Amino acid sequence: MTGIPLKRLVYPAAVYIFLCAALFGQSPEELKARRDKVFSQMQPNSVMILKSRGSHTTFLTESQDGNFFYLTRIDESNAFLVLSKMSEPWERPSSGTSEPEGGRTIVFSLPVNERRADWDAQPLGIEGIKKLGFEDVRPSSEFEDFFDRLLLRDIDILYMDIARSRTVWSPLTGDEQIIQRAREKGADFKLLSPGEILTAMGRTRSASEIESIRKAVDITAEAHMAAMHAIQPGMLEYQLQAIVESVFVLNGSRRAAFPSIIGSGVNSCILHWMRNTKTMEAGEVVVVDMGATWEHYPADITRTYPVSGKFSPRQGEVYEIVLAANEAAIAMVAPGVDHEEISKKAADIVSEGLVKLGKIKDKSEYRKYYFHGLSHHLGMRVGRSTPLGKLEPGMVLTIEPGIYIREEKIGVRIEDDVLVTETGHEVLSRQVPKTISDIEKIMKDKGPDYSAYLLRK
């Protein structure tokens, strides 16, 4: 299936984005259900603290910690979420605040700064966050003192990813100083990562989360179509990066899921080539690994294209092996299937192919040319490191086999985003062409002449 023409996606963007947010946004009820699930798994007499990421300047950023956003949908910097399962009452109960089942929730956030309203974008503020369903909301300026006093209470477990100094010679971070002071005053609590609870919760996605990922995939698919039309010998890798990421922004995805990987020639054999500085030359292949985001949910799709628009016979041989591994692995995706078996299937196809190519003599040597895993979770964080294990409905994972022959400057990776359904699977990225014939056919049709935007001597 060919991609949707760019104009059809871009021109009604404001209306389209509004409708998507209204239809697919996660409700306060869904978010509260997530927090209640966290409370149910927290140990007695414990507290969890999650922090948003972002600058401590007046310029607000969109960069968020996945766990914080997953439980709040608050998209601003300098905010904190406190989930308490303490046995004792809090020292400053809010008037009229009702205790949630199993624990208590406090949000610390930046207040609206009326004096800067003409200068800077403003946060939701205390009252704005209360409208999201949070009853106890306090200024961020009070958090450090609150944290300091909290650690002196008789808590058993603190779930928190604290900021740590980079080396033994670096000064202690603010988090480390507060914890050290508490220890010196006799505090005796166990420090655990929130991932002890939240990682397992993130194995499967809700219907609204899947729609956000689907939207990110659709935008990324359109960017791949633009890449196929735009690639030509003499173009710099970063120029292609600029084209595909402009498609992200034009369609409402203002931040890439990760630095786009545009690797041509020998760079196609480097898994995470992100410098994108090389000139793409005729006769080379280029690995394009990229992903848009939507509501902080990412896509992650890789395709390999011939710079000249046509694969050489040798490149085609390598490509067909990787494609066979990709398709065979996807065909196995279903509830209850152990991911390890899928990975073994892909590796077996790759190893057999490498023997036929004459690159290895024994199948056990395949890791010389295929040296990464087949899949990772796809959620609020690309590349979540937890094992996939047995697949469950609602999981979204990548399938991305590859072969990298550095001595021949041929690297091929084909990556799809796949949803595990109740009865099997759905390839969310199926609209991005991946057969040799389809790719070569599309690349014959050149897109807009982006060189018109280059400086003239």
Asked which of 44-53, 134-143, 166-175, 280-289 is least confident by mean pLDDT, the reply is 166-175
Residue type, 413: R
Of 201, 223, 247, the residue at which a domain comes to its end is: 201
Higher per-residue pLDDT: 114 or 26: 114
DSSP 101-145: TTSEEEEEEPPP-GGGTTTS----HHHHHHTTT-S-EEEGGGHHH
Given a cut of 50, whether residue 69 has pLDDT beyond it is yes
Predicted TM-score (pTM) of this structure: 0.86
Per-residue pLDDT of 225-277, as tens digits, reads 999 999 999 999 999 999 999 999 999 999 999 999 999 999 999 999 999 99
Does position 350 have pLDDT exceeding 50, yes or no?
A: yes
In the predicted structure, residue 114 carries a pLDDT above the cut 90 = no
pLDDT above 60: residue 4: no
Q: Give the Cα separation of 72 and 68 in Å (integer).
A: 6
112 half-sphere exposure, CB direction, 13 A CA radius: 9
In this prediction, residue 1 has a pLDDT band, given cuts at 50, 70 and 90, of very low
Tokens of 251: 């369609």
Domain carrying residue 278: 207-453
For residue 139, give both structure tokens: 């200024």
Same domain, 370 and 314: yes
Q: For residue range 298-311, what is the model confidence (pLDDT) as tens digits?
A: 999 999 999 999 99
| Lowest mean pLDDT, pick from 20-29, 99-108, 294-303 | 20-29
365 plus 226 within the same structural domain: yes
Residue 333, pLDDT score: 98
CA–CA separation, 454 and 436 (whole Å): 31
Note whether residue 121 is domain-resident: yes
Residue range 424-447: mean pLDDT, rounded? 96
- Coil, strand or helix at 408: helix
Interatomic CA distance for residues 109 and 103, integer angstroms: 20
| Percentage of residues of the chain with pLDDT beyond 90 | 70
Report which listed range, 4-18, 185-199, 332-346, is most confident.
Answer: 332-346
Domain final residue, candidates 166, 201, 236? 201
pLDDT value of position 98? 47
103 falls within a domain = yes
d(CA 77, CA 63): 8
Nearest-5° angle of CA 30, CA 34, CA 36?
A: 115
Residue 21: band (very low, low, confident or very high) from pLDDT cuts 50, 70, 90: very low
pLDDT higher than threshold 70 for residue 338: yes
164 and 118 belong to one structural domain: yes
Do residues 449 and 302 share a domain?
yes
Tens digit of pLDDT for each residue in 361-402?
Answer: 999 999 999 999 999 999 876 545 578 999 999 999 999 999
Q: In the chain, how many domains are there?
A: 2
Neighbours of 207 (CB within 10 A): 10
Is the pLDDT at 93 greater than 90, yes or no?
A: no
* Residues 334 and 388 occupy one common structural domain: yes
Q: Pick the residue with more confidence: 296 or 63? A: 296
The tokens for 154 are: 């008789």
Mean pLDDT computed over 4-15: 35
What integer pLDDT is reported at residue 103 of this predicted model?
Answer: 66
**pLDDT(199) > 50:** yes
Mean of pLDDT over the chain = 88
Provide the residue type at 416 as one letter: D
pLDDT category at 206 given cuts 50, 70, 90 is: very high
The residue among 419, 427, 424, 16 whose CA lies nearest residue 207 is 419
Q: Answer whether residue 60 shows pLDDT above 60.
A: no
Choosing from 147, 175, 201, the residue where a domain stops is 201
CATH number of the CATH domain containing 429: 3.90.230.10
- Cα gap 26→418, rounded to integer Å: 21
CATH number of the structural domain spanning residue 112: 3.40.350.10
Give CA–CA dist 285/308, Å, rounded. 8
The confidence band for 12, taking pLDDT boundaries of 50, 70 and 90, is very low
pLDDT of residue 25: 64
Residues 254 and 239 in one domain: yes
**Whether residue 224 is found in the same domain as residue 286:** yes
Instruction: Decide the pairing of beta strands 416-420 and 425-427.
Output: antiparallel
For residues 196 and 216, state if they share a domain.
no
Q: Is residue 6 part of a domain?
A: no
Shared domain check, 269 and 194: no
